[in-house]
Amino acid sequence: MSIEEKRDALVDELSPFEDHFERFAYVIDRAKGHPPLDEQYKIDAFLIEGCLSRLWIFPEFKDGKCYYTTDSDAAITKGTAALLCELYSGETPADVIALEPDFLADVGITQHLSPNRRNGLTNVRKKIKAYAEHCTGNA
């Protein structure tokens, strides 16, 4: 599945919810299904700046592709970060760099986040993109 197809699948999954409370409940439920990040990766090097809750993104580069794992002490934060990690994991650095996560606004996620959570989500994207840019020489 291409990164665009993954994005479209996430849009299809999140679009049926007309109420933002239901949408966030779904995102939180999805987050509960993600395995926790190993404690050895819950360090400052992987901590996302500008987020009120503690949020970590652990990046890996294997076989020419980027992979991202996340964890947070807040369910909404973990859920929204997990959406981005799912989208960008298993993709080439070039694809990670090229595709912006505009779909989150399209399905009503970003509009209903607090300013601090929006800031944290922006920083998640920056961290994911920066790692992909770092990996472009390794691809």
Number of H helices, E strands in the chain: 6, 2
d(CA 11, CA 14): 5
Helices 75-88 and 20-32 meet at what angle, rounded to 10?
A: 70
Residue indicated by tokens 């209903």: 112
Q: For residues 64 and 35, what is the distance between their CA atoms, to the nearest angstrom?
A: 24
CA distance 108 to 74: 19
Tokens of 74: 């807040």
Catalytic status, residue 51: yes
Which of the residues 51, 66, 85, 135 is marked catalytic? 51
CA–CA gap between residue 84 and residue 100 (Å, rounded): 10
Please identify every residue annotated as catalytic: 51
